[in-house]
Each structure stands twice: as structure tokens, then as C-alpha cells.
Structure 1
Amino acid sequence: MNKLFIFFLPVLLLAEFWNFPHQIQLKKDQTANFDVYYNGEVYPFKFRWTLYINDILTVLYRYDNFPRQITLYKDPPLNTFKVPVAKIKQIYPYFYIEFKDFNGKIATFDIYLKNGGGVKVDFKGKK
């Protein structure tokens, strides 16, 4: 028993904990809106997908008033990306977004917030 504990102790010490697990299902050009709160300010995060062809999904997102585009595949690790949330030293919080599935007209994503100390996220809904 003690050998098993000693074996898994480094794994437990180096484990990363995830906050804000949220699953979203979006139709084409349907926007998911989040508000990110830190340092007394509100930063909107908008997320949508626009094209799925040849098993490649094109995602558009806007954070901190800067638009970005990324392509995702169904195969790991090409199905995930990170969005830095706040510029807080020593914590470096970010969204971890994972493309899970596509079934005809609806894409499914899992969104996590890593190292969310001092950061609050509010899901405003889909438009």
C-alpha cells in the first residue's frame, strides 16, 4: 500500500485542476458569449464556428476586442486550443477549448478555465 502511495504521490502533486467545465453545442454562425471578470473590468469573449469541410472546422473567436481564427480537426491534439484570459503573473489563466464532435449541423465543444484564481467567467448564452 505504501509503495502504491509513493508511486502516485508525484502524479497528485503535479496534477492540474480545471475550473468552469462547460459544454456548448453550436449551430453554424451561432455565437456563444461569455463575460470574463478580472481586475474590476469586464472582457467579452465571443466564440463561433463558420465552416466544416473535409473534417476541418473553422472557428472564429473574439477576445479583448481582437478577432482571431483557428482551424480544428477531430483528432487530438489538433482538436484543442488555448485562449489567454488575463495577464496575471504567476497564474497565467486561460481557456482550454476542445472540439468534441460534429453531427451534421451542430458542433460540440468543451470549455475549461485553467488557473482561474481571481478570474470569474459568466456564460451569457447563445445568439
Structure 2
Amino acid sequence: MAKYVRYALASVCFAASVACLALWFRSIGVTELLMAPNNATNCDVMIGLEFGRIYFAVDNQPMEVSSEWSHISGRPNEDFDIEQEISKQSNPRIVSAPLIFAALIFALAGVGALRLRRQFSIRSAFICVSVVAFLLGIVVAL
């Protein structure tokens, strides 16, 4: 039974890694900004993707009350800039990180889930190094 749980967890981690890579590739050519509804929380929450980075911004003083999700999309630096869009808020708290790091973390977690309860071997080290080299190779190639 534990074997199936391990494989399920590893599959979810690898799928999340592939999803992060897909978002990373998409964010190079298209800028996305998603704003959450703020009628219940009374704060603006924004998630943005631009140039391979993900941005989270929270503002405790919303500009206007909204009960719907809103989405803005466009080419980077031509239609709008995420940092410019977020800076319209009165006091935003911004966190940003490269999406490639999230893909790397999920991939390594998947390898770790597969190797859980087993002795860590040189084979496991080669697998981890291969995953890291592959993801860094993608960054260097672009």
C-alpha cells in the first residue's frame, strides 16, 4: 500500500514540476495578471507571471470592492508591466520568485518521494544531478 502512495505522491510532484515549466515557457512571451475577488477578505490579492517569474502581491487597502476574478494578459513591456500594475496599489506586499526554482523543487521532491524509505545511493544522486542539469540547461539554452 505504501508503495502506491509513494508513486502517487511522486506523480503529483512530477506533474507540478511540468506545470511550472509550462508556466515558465508561457510567461516568457505573455504577461499574465490574475486578481482575486476581495469582497470577503477586504484586501487585494494579485498573482502575476512575467519573464519567467511569478509575483504574489497583497494589499490591505483595496482600491475598489470586487466580487469577481479579473484577468489581464498581454505581451511583456508593450501592453503593461506587472510591477507598474502592482505599484498602483497603496501599500502592496510583493513576493517574487523564478518559476524554474519551483519546477526544480517539485522535481527533486518527486525523486525524494520515489526514494523514500530506501537507502540513498549513488544512483539517487545521479538522478538528482540529472534533473538539476536538465532544468539549468533549459535556462541556459534560452
For normalisation by structure 1, the TM-score amounts to 0.28
Q: Relative to total residues, which structure has the larger helix share, 1 or 2?
A: 2
Question: Which has the larger Rg?
Answer: 2
Q: How does the TM-score come out when normalised to structure 2?
A: 0.26
